[in-house]
Structure 1
Amino acid sequence: MSETSNQKALIEQLLSDRDAEFRRAVKAERQLKELSDVKRMQADYEARLAEKEKAIQERDRALESKESRIAQLEQKLLYLERKMWGAMSEKRRIPDDPNQLKLDFDLLEMTPEEEETVRKAVEEVTEYRKVTVKEHEKRVPVRQKLPDNLRRVEEHIYPDGYLGHEDEWILFGDAETSEHLELQPAELYVRVTIRHKGMRKETKEIVTAPVQNEPIAKSYASASLLTDLMVGKYVDHLPFYRQVQMFKRLGVSIPPSTIEVWFHDVADLMRPAYYRLRELVLSTDYIQSDETTVPIIDNEKHRTVKGYLWLVRSMVNGLVFFAYNEGSRGAKVVLQLFKDYQGAIQTDGYAGYNILEKLEGITTLGCWVHTRRYFDRALSHDKARAEYALAQIGMLYDVEGM
């Protein structure tokens, strides 16, 4: 083989080796790049996985919060259904939150002196219960005697065949007497006022009898008629239209529109008495307050809506007054009624009364009837303590009846 041929073979071998080295280098670079891409992909995957894990945790927390909220709303719904459609009997159970109905009396330990006082009180109440039961067992219905202040009209009835003081009859003095309560129907009559005129001979002055004062000027309604109308509506709960029908049966037809005008006039006449009554109630140091629903005609909506009428009662003198503020039940009415009051106010659990705790000079009191319901509902969660609390409240009721 010639030298030229050897050089050519060597060059081809070198070129082949270089080509193989280049291919290996390119392959190694590609593998290195792929490895770098895999790490980047792994990091991206791990980041996305962490985000998804975080999203799952947030979703789980939101789901737990929603489940808790749903449970609370279900409890409120059951309570509202009971309030609207069911009897308010404490025997009917409603699912409650056990954590809210567990009682803790550990901080209410009594001293020996207090325990002795409680023991004596329990004995006194127990003895009262026994006496009350015995009196109730002895109670027998008895026909009451008719009041002595009623006018008596005698009705004499003689034996059959007796026509008078005849010789063949002898009447005994021990006659049998019985009494029956009679009712004379109401009567409407017209009071005609005649004002006479006269003249003194000395002065030659003509004098007419003075005009009598009437409740409503230029009206034929007398004080007795107006009083009967208002007593019928607000004491006997007779609407005006029913009283109109009663008057028709007595032979007089009074238009309802006329009675409505009389009603407004009487309300104006009673305004000073109302403010005085309100003053007397709020001048005592222990009152009770509550609000009740009343139907109100909404002229804009042309239908009846629900409004509220407030009642305030003095425990000292037993007087009561009502308050109305456009049918509102808001805390603004509470402020308006009691902003100047000083003393104790007993209410139910309505949140509108909470503002009273911020007013100086006012002590807020709760209602045992409303408080007792929560102990009754706690029987299924903390029976021993709930029964103890109910027993104590029961003794308070007995003390009130003593």
Structure 2
Amino acid sequence: MPREYRRAHRGKSVAQGAERGLAPRARSTALWGQSAPLPEPAKQEVTYTRHKPKKAHPGRASLPEHLPVEEIVLEPQGVDTAGLECIGQEVTDTLDYRPGKLVIIRRIRPKYARPEADGSTTVLVADLPSRSIDKGIPEPGLLAELCVAKYVDHLPFYRQIKRFERDHGWVVHKATVGDWFAATCSLLEPLYQQLLRTVVDSDYLQVDESTIKVLASEKKGKAHLGYQWVYRDPDSGLVLFDYRKGRGVHGVMERLADFAGYLQTDGYKAYETYLRKHPQVTGVSCLAHIRRKFFEAREQHPRLAELALAAIGFLYHVEAHCRKRGRSAAERLALRRRVSRPVYEALLDWAEYEQKNNLSSGAIGKALKYARDQLPRLSPCFRDGRLEVDNNLIENSIRPLALGRKNYLFAGSHEGARRAAMLYSFFASCQRLEVNPRAWLRDILERIPDHPVNRLDELLPHRWAEAPAEVSTQ
């Protein structure tokens, strides 16, 4: 059909509909036997506020009957019960964890009636031993498993709860586990403060920082970005995580206000500010960060980058030789002075010369400027053989934090981030000292309720590793 005919025909049909008083849409409605469209009803917007009721705590769940039970009979101490009438017993059930299984610990305390001279009767019953959580059912082994699984194996509590239900048929509410964890951290708080004092009392520290997201934020819909500042004492092997809300210099200023000695850091400006205000502290730079800058500049300027990387590689070769042969600090210092120092001084002179003649704002320019500023601070390594040439060991201690971020994503509050810092401190120290974190924490939770406050240093991982207590590992 010709295009002109279709246009004419279509125009004619519309005109005929208009003659009948029908627009195209109204005409279509009329064909179905309907009158003109009805007017839409007026709309009124109604709003109200509903108070959401708080969920009541479900209370303590009963322990599964199918779990194995270990019974412990506690007799009154210092009392001869021979010939006394047993009038009943007190039964206290708690829950313990042994690798791969849950065990109910049932402490049975017989009650005895002892007649007195005045005709009265005295009831004798043994005292319960001190527990990690007063009147709580978790034993130290269970609390240690919950903490190690979260901060070493990176399993959030809700996953552990599902695992207990799936593998052992034990149902526990997440609020209960949260309360147990808070109580455990309160019990360990004095030991954390002792760790803090021990680390800061050192005369050589390595420092770095890493982020942690916290839900408690002033901006609606956004998480707060907090920081875990990490301090490592290479002499003792202890590691301290210190949570701060920001990355400003006030954190290191407060924590290291009374520190004196060597402080090994990267080139972050907060450390530069701290060092300027604390002349009793000698800054030591990190060779790994210097190397990283040149590694990133290889594509832009391979000749200069490869020259620097070759010299840095030689310095690392000497360090690796000392570790492999188990050289002492004095032996390592002598080897550095004889073999490494000429290469180090040549690298320092080369970086200063090249930086003056290379004002590039690209990767090679940044690498040369960073090397010129940071290489002079490696000179203390040629005066003290204890000093490391880089901060790699402390960065290794931060890795569990990075893995944890991928699993539980964030801390619920600033207090939660601080509790995480406490557990990361203990477990990172155990890792550096090759101490079993579960065995250590279980033993500490058994001993710390009755341990003298003035001897808390005996419970720190480096002292515990020297003379570990006999811990049940069944």
Alignment TM-score, normalising by the size of structure 2:
0.43
Aligned partners of 1:197 and 1:206 also within 8 Å: yes
Quote how far apart the aligned CAs of 1:318 are. Answer: 1.2
The one-letter amino acid of 1:391's match is: A
Give yes or no for the alignment of 1:236 onto 2:150: no
Give yes or no for the alignment of 1:363 onto 2:276: no
Give yes or no for the alignment of 1:261 onto 2:179: yes
Residues 262, 377 of structure 1: alpha-carbon distance in 2 compared, 3 angstrom cutoff? closer
Distance 2:199 2:249 in 1: 20
Give yes or no for the alignment of 1:318 onto 2:232: no
**1:218 aligned counterpart, secondary structure:** coil
Distance 1:304 1:378 in 2: 34
Quote how far apart the aligned CAs of 1:377 are. Answer: 5.8
Residues 200, 261 of structure 1: alpha-carbon distance in 2 compared, 3 angstrom cutoff? same
Give CA-to-partner distance per residue, 1:247-292, whole Å, 9 cap, x none: 1111101111111111111111111111111222222221111111
Give CA-to-partner distance per residue, 1:358-378, whole Å, 9 cap, x none: 203111111111112344466
Give yes or no for the alignment of 1:333 onto 2:266: no
Out of 186, 194, 209, the position equivalent to 2:100 is 186
Distance 2:230 2:122 in 1: 57
Distance 1:248 1:378 in 2: 53
The one-letter amino acid of 1:190's match is: I
Aligned partners of 1:297 and 1:304 also within 8 Å: yes
Aligned partners of 1:293 and 1:306 also within 8 Å: yes
Give yes or no for the alignment of 1:276 onto 2:194: yes
Quote how far apart the aligned CAs of 1:198 are. Answer: 2.0
- Identity, % of aligned positions: 38
Q: What is the total number of aligned residue pairs between the two structures? A: 218
Residues 248, 380 of structure 1: alpha-carbon distance in 2 compared, 3 angstrom cutoff? closer
Give yes or no for the alignment of 1:287 onto 2:201: no
Specify the alignment match of 2:11 in structure 1. none
Distance 1:360 1:199 in 2: 72
Q: CA RMSD in A?
A: 2.4
Specify the alignment match of 1:304 in structure 2. 223
Give CA-to-partner distance per residue, 1:202-241, whole Å, 9 cap, x none: 7663311112211111211111111111111111111111
Out of 201, 205, 226, the position equivalent to 2:122 is 205
Give yes or no for the alignment of 1:195 onto 2:109: yes
Aligned partners of 1:356 and 1:364 also within 8 Å: no
Give CA-to-partner distance per residue, 1:12-42, whole Å, 9 cap, x none: xxxxxxxxxxxxxxxxxxxxxxxxxxxxxxx
**1:321 aligned counterpart, secondary structure:** strand
The one-letter amino acid of 1:252's match is: W
Specify the alignment match of 1:352 in structure 2. 270
Distance 2:263 2:249 in 1: 15
Distance 2:222 2:234 in 1: 38
Give CA-to-partner distance per residue, 1:49-69, whole Å, 9 cap, x none: xxxxxxxxxxxxxxxxxxxxx
Distance 2:189 2:248 in 1: 24
Specify the alignment match of 1:395 in structure 2. 314
Alignment TM-score, normalising by the size of structure 1:
0.50
Give CA-to-partner distance per residue, 1:274-315, whole Å, 9 cap, x none: 111122222222111111111110254244232211111111
Specify the alignment match of 2:46 in structure 1. none
Structure 1: stretches of 5+ with no match in the other structure = 1-183
Question: How do 1:3-402 residues align onto structure 2 when only pairs under 5 Å count?
Answer: 186-200=100-114, 205-249=122-166, 250-298=168-216, 300=218, 301-325=220-244, 327-358=245-276, 359-376=278-295, 386-402=305-321
Residues 230, 383 of structure 1: alpha-carbon distance in 2 compared, 3 angstrom cutoff? closer
Quote how far apart the aligned CAs of 1:392 are. Answer: 2.1
Residues 209, 381 of structure 1: alpha-carbon distance in 2 compared, 3 angstrom cutoff? closer
